[in-house]
């Protein structure tokens, strides 16, 4: 710890509501503990292009309520190469940065793990992704806000679905994880959720239609996680139109709408707790770990586990949705 005097902070990958709250917490907790802070703009790309500035307390004033990230974010193909990472390390040394806090999802933490191993850099990660797909933490920063955005949107689509007696397939984000879809479906009273963790054979779609369009139901909402495993909302809707032409089927893809907006109280609190804990971890000599939230307790999760271990969807959620959709 005697060698750590300056901490760099960056956000990488897709933006998520609450990232600014995390930036604020890391910056202020670091300054409180006597460290200097450097803000790195545009993620790993900024490390390579030397977009690094001093961060003071005032740099993070009045940002806790803002969505997105004041540090910006960018994909960086060059950082995936040894040559690019070497330039990034040289810029770190130039600015006398001794440790990094990386806020992002699995791709960002994968980059952090490789970088840390190559150059023996202490790095602590924060789980910043709306997908909630990182192992070792109950919730990721941005997930709760995205879930509330989905709920807000589906509630309004429900009005049209009911008025016109339609079957709506609503595609939500999540990549290969179905947390937004399954919990969004429960929160909105949807009839079903198609998630990557469950096979989507034609028989399942048949059962979905039969259960969802009973005589007592004139409209239905189905949430679909965007994933090659599910086929996506458009593909599912096309299959329904072909097999069940009598149904008036529509598709809504919520897209990047889910990433924006002011973070919820839960995301602000989570980001603040994890951000402060990142500095505690560095003080304790931790490195190459993600800060997680396990049953309201702060935990340190090795990058290898956070990235490579699959985070399962609770089967009880699937069963709950099935029971309540009759």
- Which residues participate in catalysis according to the annotation? 131
Q: Do 235 and 169 contact (CB within 8 A), yes or no?
A: no
* Cα dihedral 217, 219, 225, 226 in deg (nearest 10): 150
CA atoms within 13 A on the CB side of 251: 17
CA distance linking residue 307 with residue 319, whole number of Å: 27
CA distance linking residue 303 with residue 104, whole number of Å: 12
CA distance linking residue 274 with residue 292, whole number of Å: 7
CA distance linking residue 97 with residue 24, whole number of Å: 18
Let me know the angle formed at the C-alpha of 195 by 189 and 201, rounded to the nearest 5 degrees. 110
């Amino acid at each position: 710890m005697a060698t750590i005097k300056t901490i760099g902070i960056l956000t990488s990958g897709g933006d998520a509501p609450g990232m600014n709250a995390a930036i604020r917490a890391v910056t202020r907790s670091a300054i409180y503990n006597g460290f200097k802070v450097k803000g790195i703009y545009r993620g790993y790309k900024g490390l390579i292009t030397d977009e690094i500035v001093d961060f003071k307390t005032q740099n993070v004033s009045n940002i806790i309520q803002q969505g997105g990230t004041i540090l910006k974010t960018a994909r960086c193909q060059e950082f995936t190469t040894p040559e690019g990472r070497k330039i990034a390390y040289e810029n770190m040394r130039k600015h006398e940065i001794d440790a990094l806090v990386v806020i992002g999802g699995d791709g960002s933490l994968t980059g952090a793990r490789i970088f840390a191993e190559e150059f023996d850099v202490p790095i602590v990660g924060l789980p910043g992704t709306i997908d909630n797909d990182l192992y070792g933490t109950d919730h990721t920063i941005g997930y709760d806000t995205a879930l509330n955005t989905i709920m807000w949107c589906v509630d309004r689509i429900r009005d049209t679905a009911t008025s016109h007696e339609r079957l709506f397939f609503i595609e939500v984000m999540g990549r290969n994880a179905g947390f937004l879809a399954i919990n969004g479906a429960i929160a909105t009273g949807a009839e079903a959720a198609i998630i990557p963790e469950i096979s989507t054979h034609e028989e399942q779609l048949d059962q979905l239609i039969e259960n969802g369009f009973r005589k007592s139901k004139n409209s239905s909402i189905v949430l679909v996680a965007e994933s090659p495993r599910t086929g996506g909302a458009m593909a599912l809707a096309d299959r329904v139109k072909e097999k069940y032409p009598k149904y008036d089927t529509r598709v809504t893809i919520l897209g990047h709408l889910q990433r924006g907006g002011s973070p919820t109280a839960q995301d602000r609190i989570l980001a603040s707790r994890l951000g402060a804990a990142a500095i505690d971890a560095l003080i304790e000599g931790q490195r190459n770990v993600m800060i997680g939230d396990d049953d309201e307790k702060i935990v340190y999760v090795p990058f290898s586990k956070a990235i490579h271990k699959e985070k399962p969807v609770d089967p009880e959620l699937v069963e709950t949705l099935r029971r309540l959709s009759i």
